[in-house]
Chain A
Amino acid sequence: MARTVEFTDTEFMIAQGARLLEDGKTFFVGWGIPQVVAILAQKLYVPDVVQLFEFGAIGPQSILPFVRGTMGGPQNTYRSLQWLNMNWAFSYSAAGYMDYGMLGALQVDPYGNINSTFLGGTFEKPGRRFAGSGGGNQVASHCWRTIIIIKHEGRRFVPKLDFVTSPGYLSGPGARERAGLPKDTGPYRVVTSKALFGFDERTKEMTLLSVLRGASPDDVIREMAFRPRIAKEISEIAPPTEDELRLLREEIDPSRIIIRGERMTAPA
């Protein structure tokens, strides 16, 4: 029988995210999963990536293990190049210095617009209320390439968002520029617990690029409330490697604060 790897959906998203970053580039890090992506990527793949946090940490090298309950504390501002504040932190992104940004989302639509504010009902009377933008709106507005990380569930991939918290390509080609957002910016990839999406250059619609080894494009599309475009050739995403899992489980998040999740398997 073929060997299989066991991992959680979160571990898979984190590993995928870490593989997407480029060395020697800058990375605006959102709270939660993106923090762990940044640490794994820097340890394993991109030692010279520059992390930046909205609470004013420029170029920190987060200490291990990752701890929860810090937002600008010594653990995630550790060994920074510079300590500043929020207005300066967003100056780095607004001036064009941030290559990548990474954000979680409650819902995402075909143009990569993000909802992180509420689900169901209206703004005045929401069904369920969540944290809102935080700095996500600035990250998605300013960074050259925004990566969205989202669990692969049908209710999260919707034709129309309950609320547009952070901008993707809005209503399609040219819409960001028409709204006044910085030119040539926008969502770059959507990392899910089953697949990886990009955006069609011409139509700016979400496009399936790759699926987890052992899964089919149909498995992926079935769990979406809209039909994405499909790339001509769908590549395969390797499950988390031994190195990725060992680092995540033993060094980065041994108490499984972030990496816990639904169990998954894939052929090794």
Chain B
Amino acid sequence: MSRIRREGKVEYRFDHPDAFRAHVRDKKSRKPVDKLVDAKEAVSRFVNDGDYIVYDFSSLTRGPQALIREVIRQKKKELWIGAEFTLHESALLVGAGCASRIDVGFLGYGNYIGQAVCDGRVQVYEWTNGGLALRILAGARGVPFLPTRDLLGTDNLDVSAARVIQDPYTGMPVCLVPALNPDVAFLHVHQADVSGDARIFGTNLFALEAALASRRVIVSAEEIVEADEFRKDPMRTTIPYFLVDAVVHAPFGAYPGSMPARYEIDLEHVDRLNAIRNDEQMQRYLDENIYSVSGHEEFLDKRVGAARMKELRRRATIIEGYR
């Protein structure tokens, strides 16, 4: 047996690969049925208290913000989030009492989330961006772990559950990170059909890996297209339908972040989020933007407004490469 040379002792989410495979066999329908629902139904059916959630991409670019707001509106509890490029939404999820554990990633920025960590209101574990992405890849590959040549020699090893062993091939120390199979993945995409085939234009973090590795997958899309579109141009398919459990039509679903080639970031709104420093300001923001509206459509209609959306669309002038 390989001797463990160093290991982090903190709690970590882990499923036996065979347990996950059994879930895929028994619970994931392969039928190309219509899965189009609104955000409210998607979140109430597929997100439970205590779930582990991952999402793609970043808070500022193509993040699933409409789905996150719905999670907050439904007051889900004790969530554990995998937060790779997480800025304001981790603060909102903690501020709203929804998330209690965060695997980091990059935990930026703003004083609210930093203070919440210092106060012990949220438990954080340090996996680093590359470590989390690799855990999700391991989850997608159906293996219990993957080796990597980073994290080594640093304190992250003690506040994650990475393990250092002797590599049986070279004899060198090598770092292992355990597979991550989240309960739910949120992916906001440019185009989807009603059964869940989905296209992302531009770069991503781990969209396909997260869809493969997660027990349930909710896709929110700027645009709903015909299923045949995917067959005509298979190089452009990011996620095939049989990985997906629910499809939500959510134009401006990444707001206040940007959607590449569709609309730009609303910096004024992001500044308001970053300015949140205490619970009073947090509650005011949540009341105004989330609790006081019935859902995404009303939020766009009453809190963002057509003129603002038109302006943000106008600012998205770089379209080369996105189609």
Q: Which of B27-35, B101-109, B285-293 contacts A (4 or more CB under 8 A)?
A: B101-109
Bound form: Cα–Cα A166–B156 in Å: 9
Interface centre among B115, B120, B204 (most CB of A within 10 A): B204
Summed over the interface, the residue pairs from A and B with CB atoms below 8 Å come to a total of 193
Do residues A78 and B149 form an inter-chain contact, with CB atoms below 8 A?
Answer: no
Do residues B107 and A129 form an inter-chain contact, with CB atoms below 8 A?
Answer: yes
Cβ–Cβ < 8 Å partners of B150 in chain A? 94, 137-138, 141-142, 181
B225 adjacent to chain A (CB < 8 Å): no
Do residues A69 and B60 form an inter-chain contact, with CB atoms below 8 A?
Answer: yes
Cβ–Cβ < 8 Å partners of B84 in chain A? 86
- In chain B, positions 189-246 with a C-beta closer than 8 Å to chain A are 202-209
B280 adjacent to chain A (CB < 8 Å): no
B133 adjacent to chain A (CB < 8 Å): yes
Bound form: Cα–Cα A132–B150 in Å: 15
Do residues A180 and B172 form an inter-chain contact, with CB atoms below 8 A?
Answer: yes
Q: A86-B129, A129-B118 are in contact. Are A74 and B58 (CB under 8 A)?
A: no
Q: A73-B265, A137-B154 are in contact. Are A94 and B60 (CB under 8 A)?
A: no
Kindly report which residue of chain B lies nearest to residue A138, judged by CB atoms. Answer: B130
What's the nearest-Cβ distance from chain A to residue B158, in Å? 8
Bound form: Cα–Cα A63–B108 in Å: 24
A126 adjacent to chain B (CB < 8 Å): yes
Specify which of A113, A131, A137 is in contact with B151 (CB 8 Å cutoff).
A137
Interface string of A180-199 (1 = CB under 8 A from B): 11100000000000000000
Bound form: Cα–Cα A142–B133 in Å: 16
Interface centre among A78, A83, A121 (most CB of B within 10 A): A83
Interface string of B151-175 (1 = CB under 8 A from A): 1111110010000100100001111
- In chain B, positions 94-125 with a C-beta closer than 8 Å to chain A are 104-109, 113-115, 117-118, 120, 124
B251 adjacent to chain A (CB < 8 Å): no
B181 adjacent to chain A (CB < 8 Å): no
Do residues B153 and A175 form an inter-chain contact, with CB atoms below 8 A?
Answer: yes
Q: A85-B204, A131-B109, A135-B128 are in contact. Are A74 and B153 (CB under 8 A)?
A: no
Do residues B149 and A72 form an inter-chain contact, with CB atoms below 8 A?
Answer: no
Do residues B61 and A137 form an inter-chain contact, with CB atoms below 8 A?
Answer: no
Q: A117-B126, A164-B155 are in contact. Are A126 and B149 (CB under 8 A)?
A: no
| Chain B: number of interface residues, binned into ranges | 35 or more
Please report the total number of A residues contacting B with Cβ < 8 Å: 58
Bound form: Cα–Cα A179–B148 in Å: 12
Cβ–Cβ < 8 Å partners of B117 in chain A? 126, 129
Cβ–Cβ < 8 Å partners of A24 in chain B? none
B318 adjacent to chain A (CB < 8 Å): yes
Specify which of A79, A165, A176 is in contact with B155 (CB 8 Å cutoff).
A165
What's the nearest-Cβ distance from chain A to residue B267, in Å? 5
Q: Which of A49-57, A208-216, A222-230 contacts B (4 or more CB under 8 A)?
A: A49-57
B65 adjacent to chain A (CB < 8 Å): no
Interface string of A96-139 (1 = CB under 8 A from B): 00000000000000000100010001011111111111111110
Cβ–Cβ < 8 Å partners of A86 in chain B? 84, 129-130, 133, 204-206
What's the nearest-Cβ distance from chain A to residue B264, in Å? 8
Bound form: Cα–Cα A157–B113 in Å: 26
Cβ–Cβ < 8 Å partners of B258 in chain A? 69-70, 73-74
Cβ–Cβ < 8 Å partners of B62 in chain A? 72
Kindly report which residue of chain B lies nearest to residue A130, judged by CB atoms. Answer: B114
Interface string of A151-179 (1 = CB under 8 A from B): 00000000000011111001000011011
A27 adjacent to chain B (CB < 8 Å): no
Specify which of A71, A78, A79, A178 is in contact with B60 (CB 8 Å cutoff).
A71
A268 adjacent to chain B (CB < 8 Å): no
Q: A131-B108, A132-B105, A167-B154 are in contact. Are A180 and B164 (CB under 8 A)?
A: yes
A90 adjacent to chain B (CB < 8 Å): yes
Interface centre among A73, A124, A130, A164 (most CB of B within 10 A): A73
Bound form: Cα–Cα A50–B279 in Å: 44
What's the nearest-Cβ distance from chain A to residue B208, in Å? 8
Bound form: Cα–Cα A151–B120 in Å: 29
B260 adjacent to chain A (CB < 8 Å): yes
Do residues B58 and A72 form an inter-chain contact, with CB atoms below 8 A?
Answer: yes
Q: Apart from A141-B150, A164-B153, what 13 extra A-B contacts exist at CB < 8 Å?
A: A55-B57, A72-B202, A84-B203, A85-B209, A86-B206, A130-B114, A133-B106, A134-B106, A166-B154, A180-B149, A180-B153, A180-B173, A181-B149
**A residues whose Cβ falls under 8 Å from a Cβ of B:** 54-57, 63, 68-75, 77-80, 83-87, 90, 94, 113, 117, 121, 123-138, 141-142, 163-167, 170, 175-176, 178-182
- Please give me the 9 A-B residue pairs with the lowest Cβ-Cβ distance, nearest first: A180-B173, A56-B203, A179-B153, A134-B106, A141-B150, A74-B318, A138-B130, A133-B128, A135-B129
Report 5 cross-chain contacts, Cβ distance below 8 Å, ordered by A residue. Answer: A56-B205, A74-B316, A86-B206, A132-B104, A138-B150
**B residues whose Cβ falls under 8 Å from a Cβ of A:** 57-62, 84-85, 104-109, 113-115, 117-118, 120, 124, 126, 128-131, 133-134, 137, 148-156, 159, 164, 167, 172-175, 202-209, 258, 260-261, 265, 267, 270, 316, 318, 320-322
